[in-house]
């Protein structure tokens, strides 16, 4: 049996995050000692590792909840998990496309900067007037 600190160390997860996952139902309520300390077994270690890896791959908590439900019901069709992963892949590809557009615009701004005075600065000009941008891009995180 593991303490919450040991579980955190083994999975690279903060103790506060483990408690949060318990509060929102991604992790089950742990067993406790007579003194009230949380105790975790291999099943909880495996589940938290699953959640942590899914978060590293960018899955939302909602998607992780769906994946955990599928994992908890091994007789269900894998097509549901595949659909969730495909949805995540599409989101990643969209983010990459937005980042590539931003990269292109930033490179152009930097290359067009003459290094003179700020009154003639191309970087500041483009940031001031979005119509000067040559690429379509959205705000990252929006």
CATH, domain 1-59, list 3.40.50.720, 1.10.1660.10, 3.30.428.10, 1.20.120.1200: 1.10.1660.10
pLDDT, tens digit, 9 for 90 and up, residues 102-122:
898 888 888 887 777 787 787
Predicted TM-score (pTM) of this structure: 0.76
Contact 26, 68 (CB under 8 A): yes
* Beta pairing class for 31-32 and 38-39: antiparallel
pLDDT, one tens digit per residue, over 60-117 is 999 999 999 999 999 998 999 999 999 999 999 999 999 998 898 888 888 887 777 7
Q: Residue 140's pLDDT band (boundaries 50, 70, 90)?
A: low
For residue 133, the model assigns a pLDDT of: 67
Any idea what DSSP says for residue 120? Answer: G
The domains of the chain are located at: 1-59
């Amino acid at each position: 049996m593991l303490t919450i600190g040991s579980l955190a160390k083994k999975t690279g997860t903060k103790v506060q995050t483990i408690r949060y996952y318990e509060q929102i139902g991604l992790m089950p309520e742990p067993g406790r000692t007579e003194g009230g300390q949380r105790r975790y077994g291999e099943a909880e270690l495996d589940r938290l590792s699953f959640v942590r890896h899914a978060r590293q791959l960018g899955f939302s908590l909602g998607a992780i909840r769906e994946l955990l439900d599928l994992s908890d019901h091994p007789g269900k069709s894998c097509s549901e998990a595949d659909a969730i992963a495909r949805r995540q892949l599409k989101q990643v590809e969209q983010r990459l496309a937005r980042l590539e557009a931003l990269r292109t615009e930033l490179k152009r701004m930097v290359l067009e900067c003459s290094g003179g005075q700020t009154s003639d600065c191309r970087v500041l000009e483009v940031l001031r007037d979005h119509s000067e941008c040559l690429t379509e891009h959205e705000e990252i995180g929006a």
